[in-house]
Amino acid sequence: MNTIDNFNFSGKKALIRVDFNVPLNESFEITDDTRIQESAPTIKKILADGGMPILMSHLGRPKGVEEKYSLKHVQAHVAKVMGAEVIFASDCVGDVAENAAVGLKPGQILLLENLRFHKEEEAGDEAFAQKLAKLGDIYVNDAFGTAHRAHASTAIIAKFFPKAKCFGYLMAKEIVAIDKVLKNGEKPVTAVLGGSKVSSKITIINKMLDTVNNIIIGGGMTYTFVKAKGGKVGASICEDDKMELALDILKQAEAKGVNIYIPLDVIAADSFNNDAHTQVVEVDAIPDGWQGLDAGPKTLVKFAEVVKGSKTILWNGPLGVFEFDNFSNGTKALGDAIGEATASGAFSLVGGGDSVAAVKQFGFQNKVSYVSTGGGAMLESLEGKELPGIKAILE
Ligand code: AMP
């Protein structure tokens, strides 16, 4: 893979697209610096080579120039994390940026103002990309979180660095993780797909049918499958207009030799509420007025058995309404099983959409092999789409 390891950055200006789109509180303090931490290996390696990192990122969704979305709010923290002086340029292109880039010395980092203060960024404007390109000698893309966007700084800019473009370490890690699940993972490969709706997961299910050995279906999607097969789902979340699709998925899985596992029993509740009354019932015999909000004990034993028998595991989406403490057991138990499988040598990737929230809430990030940093970008990768940010470097 074409990474920063293929370049010697000594005396060179590395124009790095990072994802510093971090959450800030009302006092503009960073409340979660994961994205900055994740970019540190790339930035530090370039500094260690004697290179000069020039960092460009977006922050939030500003409409024009909006003070609250200024990247100067992260300047001090970036300096602390990287252990280097950070100079801030109050614009990402033009004289201000160019003069700052020219004056940059080895050991210093230049942080450019929010790319999205210019509408040309999201428009993928070529002239704007060229202005950015003037600032550096080598283009590095390390912003996996925006790799699914064909923006000026994430994709278009690469054409101005035909021989001097590469992935940063974070991008490289994400690409390796995706390939392990989609292409060269050790078998059996299992995808655990939870979450609320079949409609939002259909593309990923279709892709997994061509990729994996086992698919575990959980969460709210369960009931569309169960009802389609003639079961009683009570008041559970169910997409009636997707029942035919569900049956088609089951048929395709059979034809392709993919095992599909659906919950056997569930924790049913008499309302959508943490303090609802509950009972354990068979998945296809949920009483009227009751709704399945978590996986039941028999289900968890079966799912754990499948997961522990796997060598490669993808986890996308919770097994129940994990935001309610009383319905988080299934998601936690699944995380434990994936953690055990990982400890025994399996590769496990968590990512796509909001899955990472559940993993962080229960502290699973250290028990799985890899937690993706890019919700939308990972989801699109797992759906089999080619990401513009990756393609632009490979071309
Ligand atoms: P998604 O964004 O599609 O991955 O879905 C995640 C959401 O699905 C979480 O907020 C869960 O609360 C919700 N969810 C999981 N299981 C159920 C269920 N049985 N009934 C309703 N919502 C569920």
**Model confidence pLDDT, tens digit, residues 195-228:** 888 888 888 999 999 999 999 999 999 999 999 9
Tell me the C-alpha to C-alpha distance, in Å, between residue 77 and each of 81, 137, 258, 326. Answer: 6, 26, 48, 38
CA–centroid distance, residue 178 to ligand 1 (Å): 24
CA–centroid distance, residue 196 to ligand 1 (Å): 4
38 occurs within a structural domain: yes
For ligand 1, say whether the CB of 354 is within 6 Å of any of its atoms.
Answer: yes
* Residue 315 parent element (H or E): strand 312-316
Per-residue confidence band for 353, with pLDDT thresholds at 50, 70 and 90: confident
Residue whose entry in the numeric block shows the structure tokens 């289900």? 299
Among 118, 139, 172, give the residue marking a domain's end.
172
195 occurs within a structural domain: yes
The single residue of 159, 229, 311, 353 carrying the catalytic annotation is 353
198/190 Cα distance (integer angstroms): 18
Whole-prediction pTM value?
A: 0.90
Q: Whose CA is nearest to atom 5 of ligand 1?
A: 195
127 occurs within a structural domain: yes
Looking at the fold, whether 193 and 71 belong to one and the same domain comes out as no
- Among residues 265, 264, 297, 291, the alpha carbon closest in space to that of 278 is found at 291
Tell me the C-alpha to C-alpha distance, in Å, between residue 294 and each of 218, 223, 277, 322. Answer: 9, 11, 13, 8
- pLDDT value of position 164: 98
Res 357 pLDDT > 80: no
What is the residue range of 106's domain? 4-172
Res 356 pLDDT > 80: no
3/166 Cα distance (integer angstroms): 5
Looking at the fold, whether 139 and 240 belong to one and the same domain comes out as no
pLDDT in tens, 162-190: 999 999 999 999 999 999 999 989 999 99
Residue whose entry in the numeric block shows the structure tokens 């655990």? 192
pLDDT in tens, 118-157: 999 999 999 999 999 999 999 999 999 999 999 999 999 9
Looking at the fold, whether 129 and 277 belong to one and the same domain comes out as no
- pLDDT value of position 31: 92
Are 210 and 262 within 8 A, CB to CB?
A: no
Mutation to probe ligand 1, out of 291, 321, 360 (largest number of atoms < 8 A from CB): 321
179 occurs within a structural domain: no
Total domains in the fold of the chain: 2
Looking at the fold, whether 157 and 190 belong to one and the same domain comes out as no
Looking at the fold, whether 192 and 279 belong to one and the same domain comes out as yes
Per-residue confidence band for 352, with pLDDT thresholds at 50, 70 and 90: confident
Q: Please report, for the domain that includes residue 32, its CATH number.
A: 3.40.50.1260
Looking at the fold, whether 8 and 148 belong to one and the same domain comes out as yes
Q: Which atom of ligand 1 is nearest to the CA of 322?
A: 12
Looking at the fold, whether 345 and 272 belong to one and the same domain comes out as yes
Active site residue 219: no
Distance of CA 164 to the CA centre of its chain: 27
317 occurs within a structural domain: yes
For ligand 1, say whether the CB of 352 is within 6 Å of any of its atoms.
Answer: no
Looking at the fold, whether 211 and 138 belong to one and the same domain comes out as no
Per-residue confidence band for 64, with pLDDT thresholds at 50, 70 and 90: very high
Looking at the fold, whether 24 and 130 belong to one and the same domain comes out as yes
